[in-house]
Amino acid sequence: MTLRIISIDRYRCIGCTACEQACPNDVIRMRGGKAVPVYPEDCSQCFSCEVDCPHECIVIGPVEGVA
C-alpha cells in the first residue's frame, strides 16, 4: 500500500462542510471556517472527502520521498 497524506488548500476552501460530512473516520473538522485534517493518521484513504469537495480543495496523494 502506498503511503498517502491528505492535503487541503485552505485558500480554495469555502467551509461548506461537504468533506467533513463525507469522511467516515472524522479526520476532517472545521476550524476558523475552513477544513482541517485534525486526525490525518486515521485517514483510511477512501477518497470520499476528495470526491465530495465541490471546489477541489482536497488531494489525497503519495508522500514525497517515501518509497
Residues 6+ away with beta carbon under 8 Å from 66: 3
Q: Which residues contact 67 (CB under 8 A, 6 or more apart)?
A: none
Give the model's pLDDT for residue 64.
74
State the CATH number of the domain containing residue 52. Answer: 3.30.70.20
Query: Residue 66: inside a domain, yes or no?
Result: no
pLDDT of the residue at 66: 59
Residue found under cell 461537504: 18
Written as tens digits, the pLDDT of the chain (67 aa) is 677 899 999 999 999 999 999 999 999 999 999 999 999 999 999 999 999 999 999 999 988 765 5
DSSP 8-state assignment for residue 32: T
**What's the pLDDT at 3?**
79
pLDDT of residue 16: 98
Number of domains in the chain: 1
Query: DSSP secondary-structure letter at 63?
Result: P
Range of the domain at 44: 4-61
